[in-house]
Amino acid sequence: MWKLYSPNHAVCITVRENAEKELGYAVERNGKAVIEQSKLGFESDLQNFTKGFRFIEEARTVVDETYSLPAGKKAVYSNHANELTLRFECGAYTFVLCARAYDDGAAFRYQVLSDVEKPMQVIREATNFNLAETYNDLWLQHLQSSYEATYDHTQWEDKAGRDYGMPSLFHAENGGWVMLTEAQVYNTNSSYCSCHLRGAGGRSMSLEFAPEEMGRPLSCKLPFSSPWRVIVATDDLNEMVNTTMNYNLNPPSTMEDTSWIRPGRCLWGWWEYMNSAQLYTEQKRYVDYAAGVGFEGLTVDADWDITWLKQLCDYAHSKGIVVWLWSAMQYIDTPETAREKIGLWASCGVDGLKVDFFQNDSQITMGHYEMIANVMTEHRLMINFHGATKCMGEGRTWPNFMTAEGILGLEHHMWSYLPNAEHNCTVPFTRNVVGPMDYTPTGFSNKNRNTTLAHQMALSVVFESGAAHIAASIYYLEAWRGTDFLRRMKPVYDEVKVLSGYPGHHAAILRRSKEEWLIGCITNEAMIVRLQMDFLPEGEFVAEVYEDDSSGEMMKVRSFKVTSETVIELPLKKSGGAGIYIAKEILPLPKGIESGYMSAARSEYLAQEAQTRQGSEPVVYENDQQAVLLTLNSRLVFSVKTTAEPQTIRLFYAAKEPWKVRISDGINQVEMDIPQSGSVKIFMTKDVVFPFSGGENALTIERIAGSVPALEKIHIIDNKPRPELYVPVGQGILSGGAEFVLDASGEEKVTGLGNGGELKFDSITLPKDGYYLMRFEYCAGESRDLSVEVNGGAHTYRTNLHTTDGWEFPTWSIKDQREIRIRMQAGKNTLRLYNDQGRAAHIYGLAITADD
């Protein structure tokens, strides 16, 4: 029998050899059983390494080091453990069991030594985990390839034969907590698969290979090392959340310069508008907003276009914004394609890749992870894996590993009512323990939202991610008071602490950056959460509290003095939340370059201070926000002074359903359909380009149709909107079977493009040589390619018009847009639209804008 204690003697792992020469282990914490006697070893085609051991020697050593990562749950990671290495003779081979005892758990792995390389088939692991009899509360995730499922609170009944993903969490009647997971899997030259748990009867879990292996053995080779089997064992949830065991068990990085790695908050247009990445101008607006409010990054999701990628990166970098780019892993799943495409994207200036659709735990796929991560690292790109396996600590090897999915995140609101508050209150203590998670928090416009706005806001602090994606669009964020709390957030934090919480019930998580503290608090059921400020040093501080109003649809903000003796009471609604920012003084909100969409050249006009308010009704909300309800034919008149040129009028409004506005300065008039914000209490913005006649004018704003909006204010912004040339398809010439048709609304479009069908424009007149943005107005029930020939073949471009029906049943009635960047000449230009490899989308028209 061999005993190994952790440095503080809290954890002990005991290895025993029985009469049949089989090895087993047990784990205790503070003298109480955590894992009762369980099996060790594995079977292979070379030798059955589960029995027949003859002990040779032991070695003991101390692991004691600290390290830091560019992003992570805290500033300093401590890797401090006692290590026991037991060497056995097993048949003709030398078998090694390596075990470590940490103050917060234990881990072990298997090795087979050899002086020469030799193939070996690993048939199965005998490893199992027999939980002690007091561990009867379980949080288990039914196994699925994307790890996008809930962690269900359950007991041991009926678990036999069922498969569960890791990490898995267990709670004892005496208060202890245990997590089962693994470490060092996909940075080992494709030597193993990712594993999962299977109920083995009683309180036992066996370790199983990935289902994608379909019962086949793993193709390994000598010398051999298995992944680490990890048992986190803590007294409380704060210790659990703070564990870094799985990172500690991975090899350190060989990277010398990490200055190019930039964690932070990322804007992301996909959640609000799935095809947003098709529009260069939309991505530039997101860059402008990120820079204006002091965020760090932008993620360009699926269906971006290579014709403008470099220009977008250059534009973002000029404002200090990093650019993440989406790719399916299938585009880069060989070393050749990975080097070609990743090299190209890096040369365009991309800073990180969001690589999607792995959804496979096989040994082969583990090799894909490693190959792609290595190529990305060679090109100094940050890593975000989506449709991915669990985090297993490989971020220590690749410090540019910022985040990963493997989580039932907010994207699921696109098609379901999950995630919910119970799930959100569980994952800080399960999935997020083992690594950063790209849940994409803080979205509130979706019809399937089932939490309050403060709950959504708080998720961005409750959850940890090196690339903290914000789901809400810039059009909501600019009008929302909760954005100020997001602006208080930091790219990285020095410390994390659980102030209060229980899986599925509530979570109050503190994150500290120097002498600033942020607290995110969320709950499942309505409750009062009391938070002791005893983490504060001596002195007086100011707390800024962001919380729900009585409806949960608006944010209230209050501030007051606190000390380490203060207890803050938060009365939280069902599925509610709150955020707290604490500092010596409330500093001005961070901001950066204010230009473009966020131009500082603007004037603000409050609706309640309009010169004339005819037929409108003032409203004051519970949070003291003021607006004016625009009933039918109501008019607001503002006295404005402008130059004679187009400028942007930005409406700040709330509306449950769409409405229509008419804007006039007495000479010029514009009418526009305005989208719903989703609620009469959730505000957003909408821009209207207006051709001001100049001088002092009475600007009139009227609601002429649709629902009754609440208008809070308008901004008149001198951000130089560019004129565009719109070319309807009716000006073109058809051939090869293409035809003009009218859609259900009576608008003309072209169908039958592709497979010989063509649309030509013989005379598009432009003022100068150079690059232009061409925006296609189209509809498509499926994604289809389109080629554009300019001036008889002087330039040819190929793009893909993505389906316009989102997650709905395929339909050809929904319009959308896509932009490409093309070179055209001064004077007359010709265009030919075709697809020589299949059918193309239905085209309504083209809009052309100079891009210089």
Residue type, 771: Y
- The C-alpha angle with vertex 382 and arms to 381 and 385, in degrees rounded to 5, equals 120
**In the chain, how many H helices and how many E strands?**
10, 56
Are residue 696 and residue 745 in the same domain, yes or no? no
User: CA 74, CA 68: separation in Å to the nearest integer?
Assistant: 8
Query: Which pLDDT score is estimated for 4?
Result: 99
Q: What is the pLDDT of residues 77-121, one digit of tens each?
A: 999 999 999 999 999 999 999 999 999 999 999 999 999 999 999
- The three-state secondary structure class of 638 is strand
The residue whose two tokens read 């940050």 is 382
At 367 the pLDDT is 97
Instruction: Name every residue whose Cβ is closer than 8 Å to that of residue 793 and which is 6 or more positions away in sequence.
Output: none
CATH code for position 50 = 2.70.98.10
* Cα gap 780→810, rounded to integer Å: 8
DSSP letter at 278? G
Beta carbons within 10 angstroms of residue 317's beta carbon: 14
Task: Copy the structure tokens of residue 511.
Answer: 């994150």
| Of the residues 214, 248, 282, the one at which a domain ends | 248
Q: Are residues 740 and 712 in the same domain?
A: no
- Which H or E run contains 366? helix 363-378
Structure tokens at 496: 């994390």
CB 456 within 8 A of CB 444: yes
Mean pLDDT computed over 349-372: 98
For 664, the enclosing helix (H) or strand (E) is strand 659-664
Query: Do 785 and 649 share a structural domain?
Result: no
The neighbouring-strand residues paired with 606 are 713
Query: How many beta carbons lie within 10 A of that of residue 59, not counting itself?
Result: 11
Q: E strands of 247-380, at which residues?
A: 264-268, 297-300, 322-328, 352-356
Res 809 pLDDT > 80: no
Q: What is the DSSP string of 432-492?
A: GGSS----------STT--S-HHHHHHHHHHS--SEEEE-S-HHHHTT-TTHHHHHH--SS
Alpha-carbon dihedral sign for residues 449, 455, 457, 462: negative
Band of the pLDDT at 174, cuts 50, 70, 90?
A: confident
Q: Answer whether residue 564 is part of any domain.
A: no
- Do 651 and 769 lie in one domain? The reply is no
539 exposure class (CB count in 10 Å sphere: 0-12, 13-18, 19+):
exposed
CA distance 454 to 461: 12
Q: Which region among 93-107, 182-196, 541-555, 804-818 has the lowest average model confidence (pLDDT)?
A: 804-818
Helix (H) or strand (E) holding 819: strand 815-824
Domain presence at residue 774: yes
- Amino acid at the residue 354: K
353 falls within a domain: yes
- Residue 810 scores a pLDDT above 80: no
* 702 shares a domain with 735: no
End residue of a domain, out of 492, 507, 529: 492
Element (H, E) at 138: strand 135-142
Which whole number is the average pLDDT over 561-574? 98
Exposed / middle / buried, residue 469 (Cβ in 10 Å: 0-12, 13-18, 19+): buried
pLDDT above 90: residue 632: no
Q: Angle, nearest 10°, between helix axes 335-348 and 306-318? A: 50
> Are 179 and 228 contained in the same domain?
yes
Judge if 729 and 712 occupy the same domain.
no
State both tokens at 59.
């070695």
Q: What share of the chain in percent tops pLDDT 70?
A: 100
Across residues 241-267, what is the average pLDDT?
98
Q: Torsion angle, CA of 318/320/322/323, rounded to 10 degrees?
A: -30
Residue 14 and residue 158 in one domain = yes
Q: Which residue in the block uniquely carries the two structure tokens 């390494």?
A: 49
Confidence of residue 416 (pLDDT cuts 50, 70, 90): very high
**Count of C-beta atoms within a 10 Å radius of residue 788:** 19
Count of other CB atoms within 10 angstroms of residue 257: 7
**In sequence order, what are the beta bridge partners of 823?**
771
Strand partners, 817: 777
Task: Report how far residue 167's alpha carbon sits from residue 151's, in angstroms, rounded to the nearest whole number.
Answer: 10
The answer to whether residue 839 sits within a structural domain is yes
User: Distance between CA atoms of 552 and 365, rounded to whole angstroms?
Assistant: 43
The CATH number assigned to the domain holding 311 equals 3.20.20.70
pLDDT surpasses 70 at 563: yes
Range 745-781 burial, b when 16+ CB lie within 10 A, else e:
eeeebbbbbbeebbbebeebebeeeeebbbbbbbbbb
Please give the structure tokens belonging to residue 272: 């609000």
The answer to whether 130 touches 35, Cβ cutoff 8 Å, is: yes
782: CATH = 2.60.120.260
The dihedral over CA atoms of 361, 364, 370, 371, expressed in degrees to the nearest 10, equals -140
Q: Among all chains, which residue has been given the structure tokens 């130089």?
A: 720
In whole angstroms, what separates CA 107 from the centre of its chain? 30
- Give the Cα separation of 205 and 159 in Å (integer): 9
Q: Mean of the pLDDT values across residues 500-526?
A: 99
What's the DSSP call for residue 156? Answer: S
pLDDT at 819 over 90: yes
What amino acid is encoded at 104 in this protein? D
Please check whether residues 285 and 434 belong to one and the same domain: yes
Alpha helices, DSSP H only, in 319-362?
335-348
| Residue corresponding to tokens 């207890």 | 567
Specify the pLDDT at position 394.
96
| 294, two tokens | 């002091």
Strand 77-90 and strand 506-513: pairing?
unpaired
Is there a single domain that holds both residue 281 and residue 373?
A: yes
- What pLDDT, on the 0 to 100 scale, is given for residue 808? 67
Q: Please tell me whether residues 657 and 745 are part of one structural domain.
A: no
Q: How confident is the model at residue 685 (pLDDT cuts 50, 70, 90)?
A: very high
Q: Do the beta carbons of residue 6 and residue 12 sit within 8 Å? A: yes
pLDDT, average across residues 134-148: 98
* Number of Cβ within a 10 Å radius of residue 453: 28
Same domain, 699 and 788: no
Cα 89 to Cα 24, 43, 57, 94: the distances in Å are 16, 15, 10, 5
Predicted local confidence at residue 807, as pLDDT:
66
d(CA 829, CA 460): 49
Q: Is residue 542 one of the residues assigned to a domain?
A: no
Confidence of residue 806 (pLDDT cuts 50, 70, 90): confident
Q: Establish if 291 belongs to a structural domain.
A: yes
Mean pLDDT across the chain: 97
Calpha distance 646→689 (Å, rounded): 6
Token readout for 563 is 């000390």
> 721 falls in which pLDDT band (50, 70, 90)?
confident
Dmax (CA) of the chain: 99
Q: Report the distance separating Cα 798 and Cα 851, nearest Å.
A: 19
Cα separation, 338 vs 372, in Å, equals: 7
Position of tokens 């993903």?
Answer: 165
- Domain assignment of residue 603, given as a range: 599-717
Do 217 and 123 form a contact (C-beta atoms < 8 A)? yes
Counting residues of the chain whose pLDDT is more than 90, the rounded percentage is 96
Residue 359 inside a domain? The answer is: yes
Whether omega for the bond prior to residue 419 falls within 30 degrees of 0, making it cis, is yes
* C-alpha to C-alpha distance for 376 and 382, rounded to whole angstroms: 7
Q: Average pLDDT for residues 315-340, to the nearest whole number?
A: 98
Which range (45-49, 192-196, 812-816) has the least confidence? 812-816
User: What is the average per-residue pLDDT within 145-156?
Assistant: 98
Domains in the chain, number: 4
Q: Taking residues 449-475, what's their average pLDDT?
A: 98
Neighbours of 284 (CB within 10 A): 20
Question: Would you say residue 575 lies in a domain?
Answer: no
Distance of CA 786 to CAs 272, 637, 700, 734, 834, Å?
26, 46, 43, 15, 6
pLDDT at site 106: 99
**How far is it, in rounded angstroms, from Cα 205 to Cα 198?**
5
Euclidean distance between CA atoms 23 and 15, whole angstroms: 7
Position 447 pLDDT exceeds 90:
no
Question: Is the pLDDT score of 330 beyond 90?
Answer: yes
Q: pLDDT-derived band of residue 248, with 50, 70 and 90 as boundaries?
A: very high
Question: What was the pLDDT predicted at 287?
Answer: 99
- Determine which of 38-52, 258-272, 801-815 has the lowest per-residue pLDDT on average: 801-815
CA distances from 143 to 164, 186, 198, 230 (A): 4, 19, 9, 18
Which is nearest to 91 in space by CA: 43, 39, 38, 19? 43
Amino acid identity for residue 599 in this structure: S
Q: 248, 276, 308: which is the final residue of a domain?
A: 248
